[in-house]
Amino acid sequence: MTQPIYLSLVFHNHQPVGNFDFVNEHGYRSAYLPMIELLEKHPDVQIGMHFSGSLLDWLVQHQPEFLERIKALVARNQVEILTGGYYEPILTSLPDVDKLGQIRKLTDAIHRWFDTEPHGMWLAERVWEPHLAKPLAEAGVRYVIVDDTHFEAVGFDKDKELFGYFITEEQGYTLAVFPTLTHLRYFIPWRTVDDNFAWLRKQAEEELRTLQPKLVFMGDDGEKFGVWPGTYEHCWENGYMEDFFTSVEQNADWLHMTTPSAFMDHCPPLGRAYLPTASYMEMGEWALPASRAYELTTIRHELEREGDQRLLRYLRGGIWRNFMVKYDEINHMHKRALAISKRVHAMPEGKEKARALDLLWAAQSNDAYWHGVFGGIYLFHFRIANYANLIAAEVLAEGGDAPLVVRKTDMDMDGNDELVLRGDRFYMVWDLARGGALREWDYRPARYNLLNLMTRRDEGYYQDLLAAAAENRIVVVGDEQSELENIHSETVRVKERGIENYLIADWYRRGAFIDHFLREDATLEGFYRSAYPEQGDYVILPYEADWEVADNTATVHLRRDGHVWVNDQHLPIQVVKSFRLTQGEDRVHVTYTVRNQADQDMDVRFAVETALAYDGGDNLEYCAFELAGEQYSLADVAAHDDVSVYGAVTRIRDQRVEVTLSQAARLWRFPLETVTLSEAGFERGYQGTVFLQWWPLHLKPGEAWQVTLTLDVSMLA
């Protein structure tokens, strides 16, 4: 006998901070608007919807009438609006004061635009930690959505025991948790409407284990319904969603649609649940080191093919916080945000603090703080937006007073001190434990981090590309012949032929003012591919630091008494790099002193690695390398002789950096390009340009050699 059951669907709609307008417009036209139009045609269908604040801001500016249509659906109890962190942050990564602030900001916006009180919350990337129950309850949240995998990890049977909601608690604060069912997320809209309703009817026919009706619940990305490849045609042009909602109405005698809040109003929880630190299964895989991520993915797929659910339910990967171990760039940005949060919250109440808080919260947008298979930290414009907001918030927190300060502190919280300089024009961070490298160089007037680079790394999914290349299973997007040749094979799609040759992994983190001693057989190609003979011990080992600030000028000295291998001899040599900056000047002087501390003559090739991160650097229309009055692409792999002056310009950011060398050098340059997946396939992404200036030195015992690099930063007129 078929018992009435309830179906609840929640659609999460989000566009990241810093996203391009055309991407937002595409999401609106392809997914958000069609869904609202369909709901207007089916007044008996009830759903929940969540809009992140960054998307809501775009809609307010570009599609305000769309919000009025949603408001009308809310007014007739057809749509329930959920709150969340305004800029879709990973809440576990934030101080509690920012958790509360972000949620209350979105709740206030929901009051303003939809005239309703939100009770539920969308949890970004479903990243849950047990302590969250308390701040969420304090923010007025009644329920939150997590994955059924969270429940499986503590022994629940997702096929039998998760047809409802549960109560969790932290320090006496209670919160309802709804498990979104993997089955529905994988079936809708991929399986036919008939298949979905056959499964729903099966659930209705199975014996109830509780006195209350079953709730079948799904919370999923709204972009899956129109933005993902092929889904617009499937969901809207071919009528999948129309058929689905029509079937809901036709089966109303046993299938009742509801919203989470409405269900809670009439049905009690199924019981208590204390959930572990978790996210969805794929996030756990992505958070692992590359080799372990691929290993776990392989094991999971093997178990899925074998149909062994017993082991699958206990299979878990890493935790979200491990992204701050896996990617130094994520950790650096996160720790900058934590430090700035303290400064902003210490500001006196008023409009300036409110503005600074908004900038800080925008910089906490989750999209640049992790990486799965698409985008994330590798998307340049997301990183740029986050740093721009962080720098702007910090400037406001200073209240117009930015004295020149140098201090030693464990800025990135790894147990080793960094050296930090802050002035009116620049903010700089040196990694003393690893080569004395410059890791961050903010040009504060432009709110721009000139060293917003990505180091090239192995990724777990590279193994799929390498295997496909070896087995001739690669399809080049747009290459019809390749498509035909591989139509019956398990193909891997790429945007260019030979892309597997760009899977380069750096053995050290990229930055600026990294010091090298190159063996005579080192080549540009080898250095570009991070496979060259290094003679010195300077790249990743510690430097000592001292500094002085006087007359609005700061001088920072970094020193290492290290060694170089010359033939079979390990000879002592000292490198000192001295940075000089003056308030009010957009210029940095860097003087290198290389001193032979051995008791014999020494012939070496000394090199200074610098870098620059201008987005669009692979397009000569937007950015250029400048040398001797000519312009070249920043994405070239090239060598130049006898260089005394060179520069780089960006017309996107209206900036120029010019480098002057007191002694002419041989200059090597190449792009940092990463290979990642997009919806269309594997593609290269430009992440910045490396410059290596080097000189052949002959030094007698005790002899010192010097060179000064002067870097001028300017805005284009």
* Domains along the chain with CATH numbers: 5-279 (3.20.110.20), 462-502 (no CATH), 514-715 (2.70.98.10)
CA 408 to chain CA mean position, Å: 28
CB of 515 within 8 A of CB of 538? yes
Instruction: Check residue 208 and give its pLDDT.
Output: 64
Q: What share of the chain is helix, strand, coil (3-state, %, to 5)?
A: 35, 30, 35
* Residue 247, CA distances (Å) to 241, 243, 250, 251 in order: 10, 6, 5, 6
> Would you give the DSSP letter of residue 615?
T
d(CA 213, CA 254): 11
Instruction: Check residue 1 and give its pLDDT.
Output: 53
pLDDT tens digit sequence for 218-233: 999 999 999 988 999 9
Largest CA distance in the chain: 96
* Residue 4, CA distances (Å) to 1, 16, 77, 254, 313 in order: 10, 39, 21, 4, 29
Instruction: Check residue 310 and give its pLDDT.
Output: 79
> Would you give the DSSP letter of residue 267?
S
Bridge-based pairing state of the strands 569-582 and 553-566: antiparallel
> Would you give the DSSP letter of residue 307?
T
pLDDT tens digit sequence for 512-546: 999 999 999 999 999 999 999 999 999 999 999 99
Cβ-in-10-Å burial (0-12, 13-18, 19+) of 301 comes to: exposed
d(CA 111, CA 556): 52
d(CA 638, CA 189): 49
Amino acid at 376: G
Bridge-based pairing state of the strands 120-121 and 215-221: unpaired
Q: Please say if 515 is a catalytic residue.
A: no
- Mean pLDDT per block of 10 residues along the chain (717 residues) reads 87 96 96 98 97 98 97 97 98 98 98 98 97 98 96 92 97 98 94 96 80 91 93 96 97 96 96 96 93 91 82 87 97 98 97 98 97 91 97 95 94 97 98 98 98 96 93 84 44 92 97 97 97 97 98 97 94 98 98 98 97 96 97 98 98 97 98 91 96 98 98 94
Does pTM surpass 0.85?
A: yes
Instruction: Check residue 2 and give its pLDDT.
Output: 65
Instruction: Check residue 480 and give its pLDDT.
Output: 53
H-helix or E-strand spanning residue 677: strand 655-678
* DSSP symbols for 204-217: HHSPPSSSSPPEEE
d(CA 491, CA 472): 8
CB of 691 within 8 A of CB of 612? yes
The residue to which tokens 């229309």 are assigned: 621
What six digits make up the tokens of 713? 């930063």
Q: Is 445 helix (H, G, I), strand (E, B) or coil?
A: helix
> Would you give the DSSP letter of residue 318?
-
Q: How many CB atoms lie within 10 A of CB 1?
A: 6
d(CA 555, CA 223): 51
Cα-atom radius of gyration of the chain, to the nearest Å?
Answer: 28
d(CA 435, CA 562): 11
d(CA 153, CA 185): 19
Instruction: Check residue 355 and give its pLDDT.
Output: 98
Among residues 96, 221, 295, 479, which one is catalytic?
Answer: 221
Q: What are phi and psi of 126, to 5 degrees?
A: 50, 35
d(CA 334, CA 349): 25
d(CA 666, CA 676): 32
Instruction: Check residue 88 and give its pLDDT.
Output: 98
Instruction: Check residue 379 and give its pLDDT.
Output: 95
d(CA 563, CA 535): 8
What six digits make up the tokens of 113? 């635009």
Q: Please say if 125 is a catalytic residue.
A: yes
Among residues 57, 80, 88, 125, which one is catalytic?
Answer: 125
